[in-house]
Amino acid sequence: MNLSISDLRSPLGDLKAAWHDGHLCALAFTDHWQRTERFLQRRFGAIDWSAAKGTDLRTRLDRYFAGDLQAIAGIEVDAGGTPFQQSVWRALRRIPIGSTTTYSALAREIGAPSAVRAVGAANGANPIWLIIPCHRAIGADGRLVGYAGGLERKQWLLEHEGALQSERQLPLARAIA
């Protein structure tokens, strides 16, 4: 399988992105790329990597990090995953910028209210960090929990998006209640 890859920079660290048939199928911090690459190998088998050409992801990310928070909306993704994971990831993409939700609210949103742990696992398996905004899922008590890129990055992203007040870990709003 041939996948395109590119290296990107962000205020939170270097990123790698991968595309399959013109759709973003992975985006992760390079210090966590090995996990993402294993996911891609399980999904696609042996991978031939080529340099990505003609994507606008770099421009969109630069705009997002400069404050145009809508710049990454509408990026077409192909995250793979199980039907359950896909339902969680679709629900994550519906959380408005500047809002957070809980794992239990996500479970209710997808019609599986008793599957809170499975929702957390699906959130943790998300191969397209930031675009599928798993950082917007927080603990039931409002604490920041469970971000594979590290809680410091999660807090930065939520502050950047206006979901946290003055570096305090208090969500302003919950999109999915």
Two tokens at 133? 């905004």
CATH number of the domain within which 144 lies? 1.10.10.10
Say if residue 88 is in the same domain as residue 68.
no
Say if residue 94 is in the same domain as residue 147.
yes
Say if residue 65 is in the same domain as residue 91.
no
Q: Which domain holds residue 15?
A: 2-72
pLDDT tens for 118-167 read 999 999 999 999 999 999 999 999 899 988 889 999 999 999 999 986 44
pLDDT tens for 38-60 read 999 999 999 999 998 867 999 99
Residue 169 included in any domain? no
Residue 77 included in any domain? no
Angle between helices 83-93 and 116-124 (to 10 degrees): 80
Residue 166 included in any domain? no
DSSP state letter for 132: S
Q: Which of 73, 49, 52, 62 is nearest to 9 (CA)?
A: 62
Number of domains in the chain: 2
Residue 151 included in any domain? yes
Say if residue 148 is in the same domain as residue 101.
yes
Residue 9 included in any domain? yes
Say if residue 46 is in the same domain as residue 97.
no
- In which residue are the tokens 């998006």 written? 161
Cite the active site residues.
134
pLDDT tens for 82-111 read 999 999 999 999 999 999 999 999 999 999
